[in-house]
Structure 1
Amino acid sequence: MGDEQLFENLPEQDKSQPGGRGSVRLRVPERSQIAMQVAALDDLIAEDHPVRSVWAFVEGLDLSHLYDLVKAREGHPGHPPAAPELMVALWLWATVEGVGSARQLDRLCRDHLVYRWLCGGVSMNYHTLSSFRIAHMAVLERLLAQGVAAMVQAGLVSADTLAQDGLRVRAGAGAGSFRRHERLDKLLAAAQERVERLRAEVETDPAAGDRRQRAAKERGAREREARIKAAQERMKELEAERERREKTNKKEVAKQKEPRASTTDAEARVIKMADGGWRPSYNMQIISAPAYQVIVAVDIDTTGSDRGLGRPGIETVQAQGYNPRNYLVDGGFTKKDDIEWAHANGIKMWCPPGQTKHGSDPYAPKKDDGVGVADWRERMKAEQGKKDEALYRLRAQHECINAQARRMGLRQLSLRGRVKARIQLLWFAIAHNMMRLFALSAEATA
């Protein structure tokens, strides 16, 4: 009787039918539920995550020059900036992941766990990130050279055989921003008139808020005026180059249209790309140790041809203390004067000869061949008959670096101007060599 009173208020439950299916049971999100989570930021990143290796790599760099530039000192007022190693690590990791925008990196520092781990609670903004990225080209050049030297000294890389190749990268200038000489003069006059008008409005307008807006417009007008002036200076260079070419090939130059310069990126030039199209681009020269896929040096060129760039590349690596015995380039670099000069300096240039106009044997000796060119023809003819053991096959491994450059964002530049384009190329070179250092070190210890 007591048991009946104890359970008499329980609701009646339906009995499941034999052989039937019950109601669906699911786990649904409960976003309004309050929960307490206590964890260190360092515990949220796996111990073997690659970003830890990047941070360890940056901690080993010599960044004393960047520390000397810090104005915030003990006993003096001023807001302390972010540590230089943090800024370098953020841009190296962003480059590895193909992030080329300071605004995008700023968002990642707030929302992405890996970037938050790198920041370690240090706040970021895109102005600081953007300014740091382009402010220290000399430091980046030194870091690239020191990194290569360290790998050579450690026996991970040999500079006995080097390769050079050009990588055409789309510039930040639009195709519609190119103007001819007459149009540039009109645009400059209009820009100067606008600057003067806005300046007068700022000085006479009593409203402070509106005055700030007009000042911003005036600053934008001044920047446009400066870009147009830079385009005019570039136009003078293009016209001088056209006059030089007319002296040697007047008929071909006569067929070409009047030169044009961009009002957004004056140093960019319309170049024929790998797909056959013509776009505003920069010709990025990358010199590497192809057997190890390590970048030794970089440079920026604005011409659409690689011809004649072999000697400047060799001189660049010689200035860094390397004297390769073999220098591998593709057919676009082939120039007899460079081959003779390299031979005189004890360097063998390996590059395929161009096709002759009359279909004759390009490997056959010519009357005007020097000692170096004659030796080059014999070497390339013998190299053509080889297969797996051919030295020139190493040049193909340089293409892996070009592929990595595309993967890391070197498809279209987010920065304008030759200097800034070189800076973006240097960030890629350091990030690429860093990843190669990790791989080569792992192979050496395996």
Structure 2
Amino acid sequence: MMADEDLFEGLPEQQLPEPESRGAPRLRMPERSQIDTHWVALDDLVAEDHAVRAVWAFVEGLDLSALHDAIKAREGQPGHPPAAPQLMMALWLWATIDGVGSARRLDQLCRDNLVYRWLCGGVSMNYRSLSGFRIAHVAVLDQLLARGVASLVEAGLVSLDVLSQDGLRVRAAAGASSFRRRKRLEELRMAAQDRVARLRAELEADPGSGERARRAAQLRAAGEREARIAAAQQRIQELEAERARREKTNKQDVSKQKEPRASTTDAEARVMKMGDGGFRPAYNMQIVAEPKSQLIVAVDNDTTGSDRGLARPAIEGLQARGYKPSDYLIDGGFTKNDDIEWAHEAGTRLWCPPGQTRHGTDPYAPKRDDSAAVADWRKRMASDDGKTMYRRRAEHECINARGRRMGLQQLTVRGKQKARTVLLWFALAHNMLRSFALRAAAAKASPA
């Protein structure tokens, strides 16, 4: 038998096919040096149904005559024309909705972001003008908030018979380490005064120096620090007077407290207990709203760490504007018998849970020393109808949540008045969105 290796001896040798070689991958690479031209209007780059168009239309319908009257640049007179008040108003409203609270950040967005560029429409911006406009027109913002609420009430979209109030604590633009006691503040002020005197002497000794601008800037900064320390000392005096008043009625608790402190960064800020249980410098921002529509009716700012006793000033402010709610919903932190009695006489029923009793007794049980107003309050809160009514206060928490999303977490401004201005911007932006929703719902519900 023939061997296996001789079986195919006469056949030609077979060659394996070589694999075809693959060329380099074909890719689309950016070519940034290539000259390209696009002929398109800025208005064509934003969709017709974009929300920013509704914001601009809303601002165009506002009465900003007070802002126009304050403009000094007039036809036939010298002066650089400022940006239109409508543009500045629209920018800050949109920035508030977007959660932008920094003027520098807004300035950057006006250059880089398409939506903000559309709002600007070619008008240049700088952070100084944006920052100044934001905090300079608190009276106008108050008027716009009041007019917006009144217009919705007149249109029958909102009823202000039932209102709610809640506090929102917002972190201040001050560090915890900036708080000092009286003795340390006096030392810091003396050091600041010495530095101001030394810098002023250096500037006057060589007025023609090439470093004059730098020294002048240092002198301004030192003067501002001295002013902040002086404001902190004034705040210490206010806190000591407040402690003296509380000591007359609650001497035991006051004696346990440490010496008051004030911040050298933001003298009006106060260390408060926050929602997470921690203690940080903050402002206690008060919001009054209609719970069903979640429309903000009024705002205020407080520097105390407690809501107790803040319901009456808010109701008095509403009455001054012609609003007299029949029912007023607040949480347990506001509960105060004096306010319940005062509101009862004013024709407003307060709905608030009682505080916990020390002996574990029923807080709704009537007491012998209860006035007619307090007895009525206990009876209402214990009833099923009262519990149903009070559940409506929970709707107010949605406003607080939107506030957090719109930047009410930490302030970038200092001072009680400026903090209230930031709160007003949030209230205007929030009410603008609520007015869109309320009018759209009304239009949908009305017959064609």
Q: Counterparts of 2:32 and 2:380 in 1: how far apart (Å)?
A: 71
Q: Which residue of 2 aligns with 1:335?
A: 336
Query: How far apart are 1:25 and its partner, in Å?
Result: 3.8
Q: Which residue of 2 aligns with 1:426?
A: 424
Matched residue type, 1:264: T
Structure 1 contact 326–349 (Cα < 8 Å) conserved? yes
Query: How far apart are 1:167 and its partner, in Å?
Result: 0.3
Q: Which residue of 2 aligns with 1:318?
A: 319
The secondary structure found in structure 2 opposite 1:413 is coil
Q: Which residue of 2 aligns with 1:98?
A: 99
Q: Which residue of 2 aligns with 1:34?
A: 35
Distance 1:105 1:385, change over 3 A: closer
Equivalence map 1:384-395=2 (5 Å): 390-395=388-393
Matched residue type, 1:392: Y
Matched residue type, 1:428: F
Query: How far apart are 1:128 and its partner, in Å?
Result: 0.6
The secondary structure found in structure 2 opposite 1:279 is strand
Q: Counterparts of 2:212 and 2:33 in 1: how far apart (Å)?
A: 47
Structure 2 contact 164–393 (Cα < 8 Å) conserved? yes
The secondary structure found in structure 2 opposite 1:166 is strand
Structure 1 contact 166–283 (Cα < 8 Å) conserved? yes
The secondary structure found in structure 2 opposite 1:209 is coil
Q: Counterparts of 2:197 and 2:407 in 1: how far apart (Å)?
A: 40
Query: How far apart are 1:321 and its partner, in Å?
Result: 1.2
Q: Counterparts of 1:349 and 1:206 in 2: how far apart (Å)?
A: 66
- Highest CA radius of gyration, 1 or 2? 2
Distance 1:383 1:183, change over 3 A: farther
The secondary structure found in structure 1 opposite 2:237 is helix
Query: How far apart are 1:385 and its partner, in Å?
Result: 7.9
Structure 1 contact 350–380 (Cα < 8 Å) conserved? yes
Distance 1:23 1:210, change over 3 A: closer
Q: Which residue of 2 aligns with 1:74?
A: 75
Map Cα deviations across residues 169-199 of structure 1 (whole Å, 9 max, x no partner).
Answer: 0000110000000111111111111111101
Q: Which residue of 1 aligns with 2:7?
A: none
Q: Counterparts of 2:361 and 2:270 in 1: how far apart (Å)?
A: 35
Equivalence map 1:216-365=2 (5 Å): 216-365=217-366
Q: Which residue of 1 aligns with 2:121?
A: 120
Q: Which residue of 2 aligns with 1:10?
A: none
1:397 equivalenced with 2:398 (yes/no):
no
Corresponding residue to 1:436 among 418, 434, 437: 434
Q: Counterparts of 1:76 and 1:308 in 2: how far apart (Å)?
A: 53
The secondary structure found in structure 1 opposite 2:169 is strand
Matched residue type, 1:365: P
Structure 1 contact 383–392 (Cα < 8 Å) conserved? no
Q: Counterparts of 1:77 and 1:127 in 2: how far apart (Å)?
A: 22
Distance 1:383 1:172, change over 3 A: farther
Distance 1:361 1:205, change over 3 A: same
Distance 1:383 1:281, change over 3 A: farther
Q: Which residue of 2 aligns with 1:4?
A: none
Q: Which residue of 2 aligns with 1:179?
A: 180
Q: Which residue of 2 aligns with 1:445?
A: 443
Q: Which residue of 1 aligns with 2:5?
A: none
The secondary structure found in structure 1 opposite 2:355 is coil
Query: How far apart are 1:95 and its partner, in Å?
Result: 0.5
Equivalence map 1:101-180=2 (5 Å): 101-180=102-181
Q: Counterparts of 1:27 and 1:383 in 2: how far apart (Å)?
A: 70
Q: Counterparts of 2:386 and 2:85 in 1: how far apart (Å)?
A: 53
Q: Which residue of 1 aligns with 2:413?
A: 415
Structure 2 contact 380–386 (Cα < 8 Å) conserved? no
Matched residue type, 1:399: E
Mark the runs of 5 or more structure 2 residues left unpaired by the alignment.
1-17
Q: Counterparts of 1:312 and 1:148 in 2: how far apart (Å)?
A: 19
Q: Counterparts of 2:119 and 2:19 in 1: how far apart (Å)?
A: 59
Matched residue type, 1:407: R
The secondary structure found in structure 1 opposite 2:224 is helix
The secondary structure found in structure 2 opposite 1:184 is helix
Query: How far apart are 1:320 and its partner, in Å?
Result: 1.5
Structure 1 contact 262–268 (Cα < 8 Å) conserved? yes
Alignment length, in residue pairs?
428
